[in-house]
Amino acid sequence: MTGKRGNGEGSIYLYKNGYAAYVWVTKPDWKRARKYAYGETREEVHDKWIRLHAEAKKGPVAISTPTLAAYLERC
């Protein structure tokens, strides 16, 4: 059976000058969000998409990298 992904599985699609993909992940604050991957070929994006799925299954995923100032405030 092809053509339809499961709920929360994400998607790969054409985007500007290549392809894009997203995966639903759990953030460290336990809210759900989409994390995106971009690339020039579908195969490249598919590999990134697979890695995002594996990362999402391990636990919470950071959506953005904190700035140096934010990091230093926490320390």
Residue 61 lies in a domain: yes
- Tokens for 36? 């995106």
Number of domains in the chain: 1
pTM comes to 0.69
Query: Which residue range(s) make up the domain with 23?
Result: 11-74
- Tokens for 46? 């598919």
Residue type, 13: Y
pLDDT digits over 17-65, tens only? 899 999 888 888 888 888 899 999 999 999 999 999 898 889 888 777 7
Q: What is the DSSP string of 37-56?
A: EEESSHHHHHHHHHHHHHHH
Q: How confident is the model at residue 1 (pLDDT cuts 50, 70, 90)?
A: very low
